[in-house]
Chain A
Amino acid sequence: MNLERIKPHFPWLTLLALALLVGIANPSFLVPSSLLSLVADIVPLFIMALGMTFAIYIGGIDLSVQQLANMVTVIATVYLAQFGASVAVICILAGLLFGAVSGYVTNRLYVPSFVSTLAMGFIALSVAKYLSGQRALYMDATLRDANFGWMFGNTAGVPHELVIAVFLLALAWFLQKKTTFGRALKAIGSGEPAAVASGLNVVRVKVLAFAVSGAFAAIAGLMFSVKLSGGDANLANGFLLLAIVAVLVGGTPLTGGVGGVINTAVGTLIVMVIRAAMVYVEISATQQQMIFGVVLIIAIALTIDRSKMQIVK
């Protein structure tokens, strides 16, 4: 077995090694029930990262996901009473719309996605502030439980968030692997001029990729909103960089065309293990941020597959 063949397996090997290390340091980390609840806690971040994977897979980036999630928490809270469970449809459509506009601005107006998605995020923030009147809003508890109570809770020891996460992962995997859309994404990520030359409608595919990213961000926002029982223009703050980190650590480089949604699942778990580990090995709160950065550098150095990158920029 040579190095080239095990390279693609580095991300999950890193995950396994990290989990074992923490388990040795503190065996209570590996108790299944606590592991399950740790994983369940990170599901909204995972969904956000899942969407972001599509943007990064084509060599772009989506910096609007955090603000989209913020906006959706407000939309969900404001319109829950009026529309009931179908407010979810409105939320996802809003995410799709913002994502599609980001994609349009990037590909038709030639604004780099780094700036276009950031700007769309500002617009989403404005919408959130306007709808919420710049206050923190609270959901009616009975309405919330009646419409979205199924999102949280346990069945036979399995948290419902986990079921949702697995379902969305399967959906994203299907999109990426089994549809022409997914194939087109890979073609664009690997080499855009070649994709254009072979007659692919590159712009349509890229707009769709950003729309998918927006829709997933909206689902994440909806989960935040139900979980915290409210909406606020700042509710999801702090998740953007973590979502990017989850995608990158999983082994989907910013150059595109390599990696994918399964990698993101592994990457999110790595982020979770690192963060949980600091609690389990009792690192003080002020030191956690720095240690997180250092471990992150090690994790990235271990997981990224450099054979597909000619130049490291």
Chain B
Amino acid sequence: MTDSTMMLPSVSRLLSRERLVRWAPILVLGLLVLFFPFFEWLMDFLEGKGHAYLFDSRFFSIRNAARIGIAASPGLMVAVGVTFIILMGSIDLSMEGTVSVCAVLFAFVFLAWGATLASWAWLAVPLALVVGAAMGFVNGLVHIWLKIPSFMASLAMGFVGTGLALILTGGDRIRIEDELFRSLLTERIFNFPVMVYVAFFFLLVAWFIQSRTTLGRNFYAVGGGEELAHASGLNVERVRLMGFTLAGVFFAVGALLAVGRIGIAETATGNNFLFISITTVVVGGTALWGGIGGVWNTLVGVLIVNVINNGMIVIGLPAFFQDGVLGILVILAVALSVNRRSTSFVK
């Protein structure tokens, strides 16, 4: 709520306040990273064991950081994809279907063309990205041509995608046992598996698109005010279509990493990506109404959620508490990073 009488005398305070709100997600992440080792220290202290804070922590270790990285990488790619859509003020709920189709088609083609990255089967990788782009493109077409709000269009396209994956597999699981492809998980550079670097590389690509290309600027323009963007001569529909296509490519990268992580492609590969990816985007500080945030916010959001999930296991929280604690922490994280002065109401 804007309080106009307070505005003038406290401009400097407002500035620092806004800065605080902007950095709130990172602060939350930092606090979480320090909290879980503290909990471990406290437990050992109460039992009378010697424990140097941070140094003896099981959570605060390279091994565990790698574990968080592995768990977070596929989700990060999907969340980065949907970030572009949310920046435009739209939403994309088709990721579960797209991820499943890309994973399954990749696996089929990969096995058919030689079953190892050292043969022509490597072509299955770019093919998966093209399939992802095509599905995003169709998703965007349904949304734009039929003038169906993206929420409904992409939700229905998600059903189509999952259904397509089901038809392709008939419910079977496809194993990928190629050692070269599995080196995404097994090969480690500086203690982190290759997939973490791949995810980081695509994050940089996304950042480049967002901040250094016209398309990226246009996402912000559409999200900041569609009527204005339209009035200033922007082809809004084309930007939207490109956005959904781009998101599809990132969903496909997420699918490849998901297959690389467990070595199995199936209809269920896409499960659970839908709600968690949008939650991570919001936790990172990107606004659902568009125009605010970006891919770095999404990285922070993904890390927050994965640190919480990992930390709860490391400190041995009973399994039935974990969902609830995640829920409470997500609410707290978002509530802390909302700028109440610039938000008049929330939907």
Contact = CB atoms under 8 A, between A and B. Distances in A.
A109 B335 contact: yes
Nearest to A128: B320
B36 to A, nearest CB: 19
Given A193-B344, A254-B151, A290-B159, A111 B334 contact: yes
A244 B346 contact: no
A115 B279 contact: yes
Interface stretch (B25-33, B75-83, B109-117, B140-148): B140-148
Tier of interface size on chain B? 35 or more
A122 interface: yes
A137 to B, nearest CB: 14
B158 A293 contact: yes
Contact of B163 (A110, A116, A126, A291): A291
Interface string B261-273: 0000000000000
Contacts of B149: 253-255, 304, 309, 312-313
A312 B147 CA distance: 6
B338 interface: yes
Interface string A200-223: 001000000000000000000000
A290 B166 contact: yes
A286 B323 contact: no
Given A111-B335, A293-B158, A126 B324 contact: yes
A255 B150 CA distance: 12
A202 B1 CA distance: 13
A288 B167 CA distance: 9
Given A311-B226, A312-B147, A286 B171 contact: yes
Interface in B213-236: 226-227
A33 B260 CA distance: 51
A123 B148 contact: no
A126 B320 contact: yes
User: Which of B90, B156, B170, B283 has most chain A Cβ within 10 Å?
Assistant: B156
A126 B148 contact: no
B157 A119 contact: no
A129 B149 CA distance: 36
B227 A294 contact: no
B170 A286 contact: yes
A78 B338 CA distance: 39
A163 interface: no
A105 B335 contact: yes
A121 interface: yes
Given A118-B279, A297-B148, A107 B142 contact: no
Nearest to B278: A114
Nearest to A291: B163
Given A118-B279, A288-B163, A294-B160, A134 B347 contact: no
Contacts of A293: 97, 156-163
A296 interface: yes
B128 to A, nearest CB: 19
Contact of B323 (A112, A126, A313): A126
B323 A125 contact: yes
A134 B319 contact: yes
Interface in A235-262: 241, 244-245, 248, 253-256
Contacts of A306: 147
A58 B347 CA distance: 8
Q: Which of A126, A301, A311 has the most C-beta atoms of chain B within 10 angstroms of its own C-beta? A: A126
Nearest to A297: B156
A290 B346 contact: no
Nearest to B345: A192
A300 interface: yes
B291 interface: no
Interface in A83-127: 105-107, 109-116, 118-123, 125-127
B185 to A, nearest CB: 28
Interface in B260-319: 275, 278-279, 282-283, 288, 319
A196 B345 contact: yes
B17 interface: no
A255 B161 CA distance: 26
B146 to A, nearest CB: 4
Contacts of A112: 282, 288, 334, 346-347
Contacts of B158: 293
Contacts of B126: none
Contacts of B328: 119, 123
A127 B324 contact: yes
A126 to B, nearest CB: 3
Contacts of B288: 112, 114
A60 interface: yes
Contacts of B330: 115, 118-119, 122
Q: Which of B91, B161, B164, B347 has the most CB of A within 10 A?
A: B347
A110 B160 contact: no
A287 interface: yes
Nearest to A130: B320
B66 interface: no
Nearest to B336: A109
Contact of A123 (B147, B327, B340): B327
A296 B338 CA distance: 35
B322 interface: yes
Please give me the 6 A-B residue pairs with the lowest Cβ-Cβ distance, nearest first: A290-B163, A126-B324, A293-B159, A122-B327, A289-B163, A293-B160
Given A193-B344, A309-B149, 7 more contacts: A119-B279, A123-B328, A130-B320, A248-B151, A248-B155, A291-B163, A312-B148
17 contacts: A63-B275, A105-B331, A105-B335, A110-B346, A111-B338, A115-B279, A119-B328, A125-B323, A125-B324, A126-B320, A192-B345, A202-B345, A290-B159, A293-B159, A293-B161, A294-B160, A313-B226
